[in-house]
Structure 1
């Protein structure tokens, strides 16, 4: 129960700042109506309880499965087993990623079904599966992480040159959204399980980087899909749900039946694979097995509540607030508001504090957690503000920001300490958490919909990618600072 209370506190820290900002804007410069703000508040409550239960379930169910499966397949010491099961596990866990489900639904709605939700889910999950398999093989063969990343991002940059530009935001956002609350703990546990079997002093370093490699998969997959789809031009518009439904609660009740099916199909394959592992390989004691099943049940319930809150009230308010602000004569106000939203989202993100502690421990206190927190918060805030600038200024395109950013991140990987490189590329999901995938993207879509000359598909998508890019650069820069400090300390001791 203590674990659940901790998760509950973490989620409240994440959701309440955004809720407070929305309420403040609603009662000042961007009123969105009593009914919609009521649905937003109810949605926030659903998200708080849903995400708390989901994370609790993930901790006692999903993470142990990842670690057990990782060590089990590594013990076989056969590459084909590592690759095949790496693909399967990556695919199945990603299908059940809440942030990706939210993104896929948004893409489907904005494109009026031209890019279907199921299609995007499957394509992205295939990309994740392939990259998880590749990442596990990298651990087995001890290939340097920066070399793998250089090749992957080299291919991504090449595809960007030929892919229709309407797919760029979706592709890069998919990479950010997949590294969420379901996928990251599982893949980290999977990587740690494989690395621990390998042993050696480098096992800790090897365990990092798997999420970073995995997050390149969706980009590659979606960009490849764009080339094969034959779609050259596609415009997007926001399905605005501002009309009255006559009830605050009715939309939530309306969402639940469809989401029951959606969540069941998302989690069922993962459950089946775990049961197969249990019968054939793992053979856990009954008590431990029951605890994991209980964790999966909590994950299911939390998942359902979370998506209900997101779909029935939370995101709608986000897009409405963005839409209202962008219609103001002083629509430039979305830039500082975007900055504030980005700052509070990351400042209040519990996973960031875990990351801060991890880096402070690894550096023996040379890099203080306060420095990391402010570096990430200002970085993410700037990324969201930059996204708003991109929407308002038609000449700025997404690739103008992303390609140089990722290029810098890859170049830094050759100079930063290896451990920091792994942590940095694993941490994209830390920044692009549930609040980014739900509220901030919806906010950007609302701004784009109301801005003359902007297109929701071209200009709003990409905000998750920019946010996810921030830790890649910030943490590696901190790694260089640590490296410099460590050298100075060593010289001083001599």
Structure 2
């Protein structure tokens, strides 16, 4: 119970800033409907309780499963087993990721059904599966991460030349969205489980990170290929936001509960089934350890359900309205500044960010403090959201104007930054774009794009997640260089 209270207090400190900022904005420059504000506050309570329970569940459920599975895969020492495991795990974990369904639903909404939700989910999951398998092979066979990332992003840039600007935004957003609250803890644990068997502790430390980064590239590649080989006419869309007219404050929460419970159940089912199979065939854990993991999975389920209900029913509609209200102000600087602030504070409430930063501290034995990583990550995400607002304000500013130099810089830094930080940085890019970003910040961006004159809700409304996934690659590698220069030796 003390562990739960510890996580609860940590989460309160993280969620409180965004709550306070939205309330302040409501009473100053962006007056919002009272029912929206009240639902937002109720949503914040759901998020605090849900995130606390979820993180406890990850600690005692998801993480042990991933680590046991990673060790089992590595012990086989057979290439085909590693590849098959990667393909199987990657596809089924991705296809059940709630964040991916949120983004795919938004794509279907704003494209008026031209791009069906299920198509995005399937295509992205195939990409994740292939690249997760490649990532596992990299760890087992000691392929340098920076070299593999250089090759993968070179392929991405070549494909980008033949991809429409609408799909360019969607492909990079899909990459960020698929590495969400369910996928990331499992992939991170899987990575550590494989890496920990290495005799070289330095190599083990470095290879504990980077798998999320490699897997997420698969989403970019497959969505781009979908566009290239099955081109769609220029997409037209708009924000037809469904305003909840329920008189009951709790009505939206109750209406969201059903499908969220179903989504989270589907998200957990592949992990549970795989765990039970491995337990029977390989793990053979004691009854007490088995019960502990099952308890952790129950906590994970309850926590994620509460968290997503809070985000969807309390935060999403308010995000759209807030973005729209700020876009209507005469002084457009407000939306850029608010974007910066919201980006900084939203990342503090991302579930997977907690998992990653704690793992960084654990794997490095406290050498790299989670607070330092979290601060650097928050700054990067804040910059990303503010730059996305700037892109909405300036029609001539296109997404590739950010992505091309940004990724060239990020890839360039991989050759000089400490290799541990390369993995941390690229994993952080995917981790930063979790459910809070995929709902609240995405809704905020689309609300602004849908209101701003001259902006396109598809071209400008998407791409924000791509920016959120990009900036940590740069800021955290710069942090690595600072560590390197301070210590005068490679981490």
Distance in 2, Cα, partners of 1:263 & 1:122:
17
Residues 383 and 467, structure 1, Cα contact 8 Å, conserved in 2: yes
Note the 1:68-87 alignment, pairs <5 A: 68-87=68-87
What residue is the counterpart of 2:183 in the other structure? 183
Distance in 2, Cα, partners of 1:364 & 1:257:
41
Residues 98 and 264, structure 2, Cα contact 8 Å, conserved in 1: no
Residues 356 and 373, structure 1, Cα contact 8 Å, conserved in 2: no
Distance in 2, Cα, partners of 1:178 & 1:150:
21
Post-superposition shift, 1:354?
Answer: 6.7
What residue is the counterpart of 2:311 in the other structure? 310
Distance 1:461 1:161, change over 3 A: same
Residues 15 and 435, structure 1, Cα contact 8 Å, conserved in 2: no
What residue is the counterpart of 1:39 in the other structure? 39
Worse overlay, 228-237 or 188-197: 228-237
Residues 90 and 128, structure 1, Cα contact 8 Å, conserved in 2: yes
Residues 91 and 129, structure 2, Cα contact 8 Å, conserved in 1: yes
Note the 1:165-176 alignment, pairs <5 A: 165-176=165-176
Distance 1:75 1:110, change over 3 A: same
What residue is the counterpart of 1:218 in the other structure? 219
Unmatched runs of 5 consecutive residues or more in structure 1: 490-494
User: Residues 274-329 of structure 1: CA distance to partner in whole angstroms, max 9, x if unpaired?
Assistant: 21111122222122112212222222222222222222231100111111111122
SS of 1:460 mapped into structure 2: coil
Residues 105 and 117, structure 2, Cα contact 8 Å, conserved in 1: yes
Answer yes or no: is 1:463 the counterpart of 2:464: yes
Distance 1:140 1:165, change over 3 A: same
Distance 1:438 1:11, change over 3 A: farther
Post-superposition shift, 1:361?
Answer: 9.0
User: Residues 431-478 of structure 1: CA distance to partner in whole angstroms, max 9, x if unpaired?
Assistant: 334332221111111100100111121102111221221221112222
Answer yes or no: is 1:328 the counterpart of 2:329: yes
Distance in 2, Cα, partners of 1:321 & 1:10:
27
What residue is the counterpart of 2:296 in the other structure? 295
Answer yes or no: is 1:236 the counterpart of 2:237: yes
Distance in 2, Cα, partners of 1:252 & 1:362:
40
User: Residues 404-454 of structure 1: CA distance to partner in whole angstroms, max 9, x if unpaired?
Assistant: 111111111111121121121121144334332221111111100100111
Post-superposition shift, 1:379?
Answer: 2.7
Post-superposition shift, 1:77?
Answer: 0.9
Post-superposition shift, 1:38?
Answer: 2.0
SS of 1:399 mapped into structure 2: helix
What residue is the counterpart of 1:344 in the other structure? 345
- Report the count of equivalent residues: 488
Distance in 1, Cα, partners of 2:280 & 2:365:
42
Post-superposition shift, 1:257?
Answer: 2.3
Residues 325 and 334, structure 1, Cα contact 8 Å, conserved in 2: yes
Worse overlay, 148-157 or 33-42: 33-42
Residues 348 and 374, structure 2, Cα contact 8 Å, conserved in 1: yes
SS of 1:112 mapped into structure 2: coil
Distance in 1, Cα, partners of 2:263 & 2:378:
34
What residue is the counterpart of 1:492 in the other structure? none
Post-superposition shift, 1:173?
Answer: 1.5
SS of 2:197 mapped into structure 1: helix
SS of 1:198 mapped into structure 2: coil
What residue is the counterpart of 1:408 in the other structure? 409
What residue is the counterpart of 2:258 in the other structure? 257
Note the 1:364-403 alignment, pairs <5 A: 374-403=375-404
Residues 377 and 428, structure 2, Cα contact 8 Å, conserved in 1: no
Distance in 1, Cα, partners of 2:355 & 2:51:
18
CA RMSD across the alignment: 2.5
What residue is the counterpart of 2:53 in the other structure? 53
Distance in 1, Cα, partners of 2:294 & 2:397:
49
TM-score by length of 1: 0.91
Unmatched runs of 5 consecutive residues or more in structure 2: none
SS of 1:456 mapped into structure 2: coil
What residue is the counterpart of 2:112 in the other structure? 112
Distance 1:224 1:12, change over 3 A: farther
Post-superposition shift, 1:372?
Answer: 5.1
User: Residues 320-346 of structure 1: CA distance to partner in whole angstroms, max 9, x if unpaired?
Assistant: 111111112223310111111122234
Distance in 2, Cα, partners of 1:488 & 1:273:
41
Distance in 2, Cα, partners of 1:364 & 1:14:
21
TM-score by length of 2: 0.92
User: Residues 102-124 of structure 1: CA distance to partner in whole angstroms, max 9, x if unpaired?
Assistant: 32232222223322333222222
Distance 1:356 1:266, change over 3 A: closer
SS of 2:233 mapped into structure 1: coil
Distance in 1, Cα, partners of 2:119 & 2:6:
36
Worse overlay, 13-22 or 480-489: 480-489
Worse overlay, 133-142 or 25-34: 25-34
Distance in 1, Cα, partners of 2:362 & 2:369:
6
Distance 1:11 1:31, change over 3 A: same
Distance 1:382 1:261, change over 3 A: closer
Distance 1:4 1:223, change over 3 A: farther
Distance 1:117 1:45, change over 3 A: farther
Worse overlay, 97-106 or 448-457: 97-106
Note the 1:140-151 alignment, pairs <5 A: 140-151=140-151
